[in-house]
Structure 1
Amino acid sequence: MSNFNDSKSNITQTILLADRDLKTFLSVSSCVIFLYVNGVMIFTLRKKTVFQEASRYILFGHMLWVDTLNLVMSVVLFVLAFCRVFVMKIFCLILLVAATAIYQVSILNLALMSLERYVAICIPLRHAEITTYGRTNMAIGVVWMLSWIKSLSEIIIFCSIDTNTAMHLFCSKTTLFRLPVYKQLDIGFTCVFFVSVCFVIIFSYASIAAVAKTASSDKMSAKKANKTVLLHLIQLGLCAASILVGVIQEVIYVYTDYMTSINVMYFCFVALMIFPKCLSPLIYGLRDQAFSTLFKYYFTFGLKKQNRCNTEMHLEREK
C-alpha cells in the first residue's frame, strides 16, 4: 500500500511539473512571436526618414521599445515566479526596480501620444513648431526621469532602513519589499500617475471631439485622432488592470493550493500582461495606412511589392 501511494504521488508530481513546463513554454513562445512582430515594426520605423523625424512616429517607436522591454521583464519575472526559482537579493532588486520604471514609462508615454494628437488637431498651425524632433525627444527624456523617481525611492529605502537579510529569495514585491512604507509609496505613485495620465487623455479626447463637431473641414482626421486617443484610454485601463496581478498573486499563495495558484497565475499573465502589451502596438500600427502597408511588406519578406510602392508614394506626398 505504501509503494502504491508513493507511486501515485510521483505520478501526480510528474503531471504537475509537465503542466507547469507546458504553460511556461506556451507563454514564452507566444511572447517570442510578439517580440518578433514588435521587432519588425521597429525595423520598419528605421527604414524611412519621415518615420524618424515626425513626432507621431517617434512616440510610436518609443512605445514599441518600451512595450518590448516591458514584455521581456514581465516574462523573466513570470518564469521566476511560476517555477518558484530563488535568486540573489540584489538581482531581484534590479529586476523589480527596472520593471517598475519601464512600466511607469509606458503609462506616461500614452499621455505624450495623446497630447501630440491634441496639438495636431486643435492647434494645427503650431503643430510643426511645438512637436519638433528635439522637443519630442526632450519630452521622452523627462518621462524617463519622472518614471525613475519611484524606483530610486525604493532603492534608497531598501539600502537605508530595510532589514531583509536573506541572500536568496523568491523574487516578488511581496517577498522583497516587506515594509509598510513600500506599499504606501506604491499607492501614492500609482494614484498620481494614473490620475494625471487619465486627465490628459480625457482632456485630449474631449478637445478633439469638440473640434470634430465644429470644424467645417478635415473632420475625418479629427474623428480618426479621437479614436486614437480613445485607444490610449483603453490601453491605460489595461495597464491599470495589470496592477491586479500582484494583488492576485498575494492572495492565491496564501489561500489556494499549488495547482490552482499555477492556473490563476498563468491566466493573469496571459490576460493582463501579454495581451495588452502585444495587442496595443499592433492595433495602433495597423491603423496608420502609411506605416501598416510598409510593415506588411517587411513582415512578408518583401512579397507585397506593390503595397510598398504605394506607401512610398503616400509618404512622399506627406512630406
Structure 2
Amino acid sequence: MSYATQSQTNITVGRGLLERVMLSTLTTLPCCVFLFINGVMLFTLRSKTVFRETSRYILLFSLLLAETIQMALSQILYLLAASRIRLTYPVCGVIIMFSNLTNKISPLTLVVMSLERYVAVCYPLRHSAIITIRNTAVAVIVVWTFSSLNVLTRVLLLLDFPFEDLESLQMKDFCAKNSMFFDPMSYEYDKAYTYFLFVSATIAIICSYIGVMIAARSASTGKASAQKARNTLLLHLVQLGLSLVSTMHHSLLVAISKIVTRTLVVRIHIILYVLIVILPKCLSPLIYGLRDQTVRSGLVVNLYFRLKLSVITGKGEI
C-alpha cells in the first residue's frame, strides 16, 4: 500500500512538473519572439537620422522601450512563480519597482503622442514651432520623472513597515506587486494613483480625438491627414484600455479563483497572461511598424538581416 501510494505521488508530481514546463514554454516562446521584434524595432528607431530627429518617432521609442522592459520583467516574474522560486523582499522590491515604473510610463506617453497628433492636425502651421526636438525631449523626461516619483512614493510608504519584526526577509509567497502591499495605505495609494492616471489619460485622448474630428470638418484641414490622426488616436485608446486591463490582471485572477478549481485557475492564468500582459506590449511595433511606411521599410530590412545573420551563425556553429 505504501509503495502504491508513493508511486501515485510520483506520477502526480511528474505530471505537475511536466505541465508547468509546457505552460512555461508556451508563454516564453511568444515572449521571446516579441522581445526580438521589439528589439529590432528599437534598433530601427535609432538607426536613421529621420527617426532620431522626428518627435513622433522619439515618443514611439520611449513607449516601446518602456513596454519592452515591462514585458521582460513580467516574464521573469512569471518564470520565477512557475519554478516556485521565492525571492527575498529587497530583491522582489527592486523588480517590482522597475515594473511599476515602466508600467505607468505607457499611458503617459500615449497622452503625449495624442497631443502631438492633435497639434499636427489642428495647428499645422505651428506644429514645427510647438513640437520641437527639445520640447519632445522635455516631455519624455517629464514622463519618466513623474513615473519615478510614483515609485519613490511607494518606496517611502514601504519604509514605514517594521521589517525588523519579520522572522526572515525570505518571502513566503511568490514575487508580485500585491505581495509588496504591507499596509492598507500602500494599497489605497496604488489604487488611487492608477485610477487618476488612467481616467486623466482617457480624458486627454478623447479630447484630442474630438478636437481632431472638429478640425476635420474645416476646409483648411487636410482630410487624409485628419482621418489618419483619428485612426491613430483610436488605436491609442485601444492601447490605453489594454494597459488598464493588464493592471487588473491579479484582481481578475482573485475573482476567478473563488468560483473555479485551482487547476483551472492556473490554465486561465496562462490565457490571461498571454492575452492581456504579453500581447498588448507588442502592439506598438505591429501598429506603427505596419502603418508607417518609413518605419515599415526600416523594420523589414533589419528583421531580414537579423534573421539571416541568425541562420548563418547557426550553420556556422553546426
Structure 1 portions without partners, runs of 5+:
304-319
- Note the alpha carbon deviations across 1:272-314, whole angstroms, 9 max, x for none: 10011112331122111121122112212299xxxxxxxxxxx
Q: CA deviation at 1:252?
A: 5.8
Report how many residues are paired.
Answer: 303
User: In the alignment, which residue of structure 2 is the partner of 1:317?
Assistant: none
The 5-angstrom pairing of residues 111-126 of structure 1 reads: 111-126=111-126
Q: Secondary structure at the match of 1:301?
A: helix
Structure-2 change in CA distance of 1:208 and 1:181 (3 Å): same
Runs of 4+ in structure 1 displaced over 6 angstroms? none
User: In the alignment, which residue of structure 2 is the partner of 1:316?
Assistant: none
Q: CA deviation at 1:251?
A: 4.6
Q: Does 1:266 align with 2:270?
A: yes
Matching residue within 189, 195, 201 for 2:193: 189
The question of whether the paired residues in 2 share the 8 Å contact of 1:82 and 1:265 is answered with: no
How far apart in 2 are the matches of 1:217 and 1:180?
51
User: In the alignment, which residue of structure 1 is the partner of 2:169?
Assistant: 167
How far apart in 2 are the matches of 1:53 and 1:129?
14
Structure-2 change in CA distance of 1:217 and 1:254 (3 Å): closer
The 5-angstrom pairing of residues 70-85 of structure 1 reads: 70-85=70-85
Q: Secondary structure at the match of 2:87?
A: strand
How far apart in 2 are the matches of 1:267 and 1:183?
26
How far apart in 1 are the matches of 2:286 and 2:102?
19
- Note the alpha carbon deviations across 1:226-263, whole angstroms, 9 max, x for none: 10010000001001111221213445667765433321
How far apart in 1 are the matches of 2:162 and 2:2?
47
Q: Secondary structure at the match of 2:217?
A: helix
User: In the alignment, which residue of structure 1 is the partner of 2:313?
Assistant: none
Structure-2 change in CA distance of 1:174 and 1:62 (3 Å): closer
User: In the alignment, which residue of structure 2 is the partner of 1:133?
Assistant: 133
- Note the alpha carbon deviations across 1:150-184, whole angstroms, 9 max, x for none: 21111111112355724111212333213111111
Structure 2 portions without partners, runs of 5+:
308-318
TM-score by length of 1: 0.89
- Percentage of pairs with the same residue: 38
TM-score by length of 2: 0.90
Structure-2 change in CA distance of 1:187 and 1:237 (3 Å): same
User: In the alignment, which residue of structure 2 is the partner of 1:301?
Assistant: 305
| C-alpha RMSD of the superposition | 1.9
The 5-angstrom pairing of residues 147-296 of structure 1 reads: 147-163=147-163, 165=166, 166-169=168-171, 170-251=174-255, 258-296=262-300
Moved more, 108-117 or 263-272: 263-272
Q: CA deviation at 1:216?
A: 4.8
User: In the alignment, which residue of structure 1 is the partner of 2:68?
Assistant: 68
* 1:40 counterpart letter in structure 2: V
How far apart in 2 are the matches of 1:43 and 1:254?
45
Structure-2 change in CA distance of 1:11 and 1:215 (3 Å): farther
* 1:227 counterpart letter in structure 2: N
Structure-2 change in CA distance of 1:238 and 1:219 (3 Å): same
The question of whether the paired residues in 2 share the 8 Å contact of 1:66 and 1:102 is answered with: yes
